[in-house]
Structure 1
Amino acid sequence: MNFINRMLIAALFFGSFSVQAADMTPDALAKNTTQEVLALIKQDKDLAGNQEKLHKLIEAKILPHFDFARMTRLAVGKNWRSATAPQQESLVKEFRTLLVRTYSNSLAAYKNQVIDFKPFKMQPDETDVTVKTQVVQPGAQPIPIDYAMEKTADGWKVYDVTVDGVSLVINYRSSFSSEVRQSGIDGLIKTLVEKNQSASGGSQSTAAKK
C-alpha cells in the first residue's frame, strides 16, 4: 500500500465532524466521528463508481476540518515566501484539489478498518497537539497515523498527518521543491493544474463509459 492510499485512510477516519466540533477536545472529536464515517461508507454502495458523489462526500465531510492554507504553506516550504499572494492562492487551491481527487480515486477500497486511539493528554492552554491512532486492518500490519492539530477560532484543524512515520507535508515538500528549482513557482502551479485536469478528464471519461 503506497503512502497516498494510506493517507486516504487517515482522511476517512477523521472526516464527518458534527456541529459541536468546535467545543470538543481533539481526541474526542476523532473518536466520536469514526463510527459515523464507517457507517456512511458501508451503507452507500454507489460510492465506488460515482466520482461526483465521492467529491461531494469529501468536500462536505472531510475537507472543512483540514487547514489547507497551512498544509500548503508547509508543503511548499521556504519557497512559499517568494510566492506572490495570487500564486499562494493558486497553490492552496490546486493542492486542495489534488488531495480531493487522490482521495476520491481510492475511497471505495477501504471499508473494514478499525481505528484504535492511543492515550491522549493535553494541557488546558495547549493549542497545538498530536492525536495518535492506529488503523487495524484484517490480515495486515496496523498502520500508525498521527494527526497534527491546531486550535483555531473555528475549532481544531488538522494541518499535517503522519502515516507510518511519513509526514504528508514533508512527502510533498521534496517534489514541490524540485519543481520550483526547475520551473519556479509558476512551474509548480502549472504542474499541479495539469495533474488535476488530467485526473478530472480521466474521471469524466470513466463516467462516460458507464
Structure 2
Amino acid sequence: MKIKLSNFTAAVGLLVMLAIHPSHAAAGQAADQLKKTVDTVLNILNDSSLKGEAKKAERRQKLREVIYARFDFPDMAKRSLGAQWQKRSPAEQKEFTKAFTDLLEGAYVDKLESYNGEKVRFVNDRQDQDHTEVSTKVVDKKGQEYSVDYRLHQVNGDWKVSDVVIENVSLVNNYRSQFNRVLAKSSYQELIETMKQKKFSAPAAKS
C-alpha cells in the first residue's frame, strides 16, 4: 500500500535535513558538499531573526538561493521531459525548466519549514567517476524509516544533485511518466499549463 509521507519526509526528497554528527559524515567530496548545503538550510530554519510570518518571504528566498545552488534543476528538467526535450525550441526549453523548477518548489521546498525533529541517518556513498550516490535513511516521529538516495554529478567542479530516489522511486522518472501521460493525449502547451497549476504529484513511498 502507499504511505502518505509527512510534509518534511516529502521535502526530504528534495533536500534531506541531515542531523549527522561529523564522525558519521561521508568521506566523499560530494557528500561533504551536500552536508554543507544542508547545514546552511538548518541554520536558516533555526535563525530566530528569520522566524515568523513577517519574515516568511525573506526566509524562503534564502532557502531558495541555497537549494538552487546545489541542485541541477536544468538537467533534471531536461531528463524529466525525455525525448520531447530535443523537439522544443530554446525558448520552450527555458520555459519548461522554469515551470519544472517552480513545480518542485511547490512540492518540496515550501514544505521544508515543517521540519519537526525527524532524524536522518547517513548510510554510505558510492562514487563512479563523475557520478556519486549518497544514501540516507529518514526516521519519522512514529519510527517509520524511509530510504532517500541522492544522485550527484559534477558541474564546473561542484557536485550537483541530479536526481533524488525516495523508497526506490526516482523523482525524475516519476515526473517523466506523468509528463508523458499528458503529452500522449494533450499538447505541449497544455503540459506547461498543467505544470503551472501544480497538478502533478510527488513520489510517495510504498510498503
Task: Name the TM-score class by shorter chain.
Answer: 0.7 to 0.9
1:66 to 46, 71, 79: 71
Higher relative contact order (CA 8 A, sep 6+): 2
Of 92, 96, 102, 2:97 maps to: 92
How many percent identity over aligned positions? 25
Corresponding residue for 1:75? 80
Which residue of 2 is the match for residue 139 of structure 1? 142
**Could you tell me which of 117, 120, 125 is aligned with 2:122?**
117
Unaligned runs of 5+ in 2: 19-27, 200-207
Q: 2:113 aligns with which of 101, 108, 111?
A: 108
1:179 to 174, 179, 182: 182
- Cα distance in 2 for residues equivalent to 1:5 and 1:81: 35
1:161-172 alignment runs, 5 A limit: 161-172=164-175
Is 1:30 matched up with 2:34?
yes
Give secondary structure in 2 for the equivalent of 1:183.
coil
- Bigger proportion of residues as helix: 1
The separation in 2 between residues aligned to 1:109 and 1:3, in whole angstroms, is 9
3-state DSSP class of the match of 1:147? strand
Q: What is the deviation of 1:34?
A: 4.0
Q: More displaced, 3-12 or 102-111?
A: 3-12
Aligned mates of 1:138, 1:26 — CA distance in 2: 29
- Structure 1, residues 12-52: CA drift from partner, whole Å, max 9, x if none? 4379xxxxxxxx71122233444443343234473678652
1:181 is displaced (CA, Å) by 1.8
Closer/same/farther in 2, CA of residues 58 and 33 from structure 1, 3 Å limit: closer
C-alpha separation between the residues in 1 aligned to 2:169 and 2:52?
28
Q: What root-mean-square deviation, in Å, do the aligned CA atoms of Structure 1 and Structure 2 show?
A: 2.8
Q: Deviations over 1:187-210 (max 9, x none)?
A: 2112223449xxxxxxxxxxxxxx
Question: How big is the shift at 1:85?
Answer: 1.6
Measure the CA separation in 2 of the matches of 1:13 and 1:127.
Answer: 22
Contact 2:72-2:160 within 8 A present in 1 as well: yes
| 8 A Cα contact 2:127 2:133, kept in partner | no
Larger deviation, residues 57-66 vs 156-165: 57-66
Structure 1 residues 164, 178: closer, same or farther in 2, change over 3 A? same
Which residue identity is paired with 1:28?
A: D
Partner SS for 2:107: helix
Q: More deviation in 29-38 or 109-118?
A: 29-38
Q: Deviations over 1:161-206 (max 9, x none)?
A: 001111101111121111212222222112223449xxxxxxxxxx
SS of the residue corresponding to residue 10 of structure 1 reads: coil
Distance 2:138 2:59 in 1: 22
Structure 1 residues 112-166: Cα deviation after superposition (integer angstroms, max 9, x where no partner): 122211133436xx10121111122232312111111101104000010001111
Number of aligned residue pairs: 186
Structure 1 residue runs without a partner (length 5+): 16-23, 197-210
CA distance in 1, matches of 2:55, 2:152: 31
2:52, 2:12 → 1: CA distance? 15
